[in-house]
Amino acid sequence: MPTQIENVFPASRTGRTTAWAVTAVVAGSTLVATAALAPARAAEPIFEPWRDAADRHGVTTGFALSPAHLGDPGYRAIAEREFSLVVAENAMKWDATEPSRGTFTWGQADQVAAFAESNDAELYGHTLVWHSQLPGWVESISDPDELRTVMYDHIDAVAGRYADQVDAWDVVNELWEGDGSRRQSVFQRVLGDGYVAEALTRARQAAPGADLCLNDYSTDAINAKSTAMYDLVADLLDDGVPIDCVGFQSHLIVGQVPGTFQQNLQRFADLGVDVRITELDVRMDVPASAADLQRQAADYRAVVEACLAVDRCTGVTVWGIDDGHSWVPDVFSGQGAALPWDAQYQAKPAYTAVAEALDARPDDAGPTPSPTPTSGPVDAECTVTWSHAAWGTGYTGSVTITNSGAEAWSSWELTTTLPGGQVLQQGWSADWSQTGSTLTASNAAWNASVAPGGTVQIGYNAAHTGDTSVPTDVAVNGSPCH
């Protein structure tokens, strides 16, 4: 049985745009790591951005952002291309925003809000009242009046600051124990059951335009915990307490999407609240096997399909982008590989599964920045167009090589000099390397042969420090191109 592995390489032009896939068909039934791709590849177009496909379903695709990673071009390209909703992975939590009483620190949270704004994405607020990542000074309060004042001040400051930007807040996070009893957080112990309604009511005042949600984990199935949530939401609605939405974290284990997932979402929707998958990841034992990566893809697909099947499901948020920046290995020993991109930002089967579940269209347009032709002698046997789509610290280079001679090539090697300290990060559709400022791209097995008049498209990402100019001295097989 052949094992099929799809690798997808995003390429940005004006922010979020085009990407291509390379499909590797590897003979033999043994498991194959995605990093060890064998030959016999065929280039094929992949998908339009997730967010564009999701738009047609009236849902958003979200991701948890840690702004420190935005300097990494691979991370940033995916963040900009695929997602129409942004949530702070940590930056809006209590310990980040109010580490000591009345002293607020907004640096990271503002960066998250600014990224959402600049990328025309919704901003999701996470989270106002939670037992975890809660500073010790709050934890130690035992006087109800004092704790209520502190909770209200925090909600006023944080929800108030982003009142014009945040579309929905996780007002209270993780209020349940697994058996459906209330978690004994400081808020529960000191203020009693009513703290949830108090927090929601205060949040409505602080951010009147935001939807107000409760959010929890292990509530994805119909079980004691989700039923406790369900009963609470019904009571809150009966009592006229502002509650608009429920978040289902969906930190899942591979192969374990609950059979009642969709039915569970639907019963909340039937109460009259929106639902959302808020923190999706699907973890597995690492190193990941190809079989588990395929099962993971099926799980991602099932989650997206469940959301799309429920009218009031507003979308799916992935808890990160890539396996190199995921909370999973830090918390679940021996587990990881939980996200749709691997640590090198290569798309995993889960990426494709989500795109397909969203009915994403193939994206075969290729990059369309104005090409900047390079110059060279007129008798060259090759023509090259080279363009860069740049952002702050990186760019995506798109290169089209044409065999303009009379002889077919059975293999090819492109060489050039990268201007101004540009540094290759990753490339696709060729074997790329850089030595000093010399950049080399050699054919992959599947695009080695180029007939006269034939073209090859390759691309790469690079870091820059200001000079984003294209190379001017390109050669193929030692022959200068124009």
The question of whether 44 is a catalytic residue gets the answer no
Which of 15/329 has CB closer to ligand XIL? 329
Number of residues that bind ligand XIL (CB under 6 A): 7
- Least distance CB 64 / ligand XIL (angstroms): 6
CB of 236 to ligand XIL, least distance (A): 20
**Nearest-angstrom CA–CA distance, 247 and 166:** 15
Q: Name residues contacting ligand XIL, limited to 206-245 (CB under 6 A).
A: 217
The correct pick among 82, 98, 279, 292 for binding ligand XIL (CB under 6 A) is: 279
Rounded distance between C-alpha atoms, residue 442 and residue 422, angstroms: 19
**Looking at beta carbons only, is 247 or 427 nearer to ligand XIL?**
247
Task: Give yes or no for residue 72 binding ligand XIL (CB under 6 A).
Answer: no
Cβ burial of 106 (10 Å; 0-12, 13-18, 19+) is: middle
- Closest C-alpha to 441, from 407, 474, 404, 403: 474
**What do you get for the CA distance between the two ends of the chain, in Å?**
45
User: Which of 195, 327 has the CB closer to ligand XIL?
Assistant: 327
Parallel, antiparallel, or unpaired: how do β-strands 122-129 and 166-173 relate?
Answer: parallel
Residue 89 binds ligand XIL (CB under 6 A): yes
Minimum distance, C-beta of residue 89 to ligand XIL, in the bound complex (Å): 5
- Provide the pairing of β-strand 372-373 with 382-390: antiparallel
Considering only 18, 90, 218, 403, the residue that binds ligand XIL (CB under 6 A) is 90
The identity of residue 385, as a single letter, is T
Q: Is 58 left (phi over 0), alpha (psi -120 to 50) or beta?
A: left
Residue numbers 280-339 binding ligand XIL by CB under 6 A: 327
Indicate the angle between helix axes 224-238 and 195-206, nearest 10 degrees: 60
Q: Decide if residue 249 touches ligand XIL (CB under 6 A).
A: yes
The residue with tokens 């949600």 is: 213
Told to check if 250 binds ligand XIL by CB under 6 A, we report no
Please choose, from the candidates 67, 123, 107, the residue with its C-alpha nearest in 3D space to the C-alpha of residue 320.
67
Catalytic residue among 174, 356, 381, 413: 174
Closest CB 127 distance from ligand XIL, rounded Å: 6
Among 34, 84, 97, 173, binds ligand XIL (CB under 6 A): 173
Annotated active-site residue 139? The verdict is no
Tokens standing for residue 46: 């992949």
One-letter amino acid at 335 equals Q
Kindly list the residues in this chain that would bind ligand XIL in the complex (CB under 6 A). Answer: 89-90, 173, 217, 249, 279, 327
Catalytically annotated residues: 174, 279
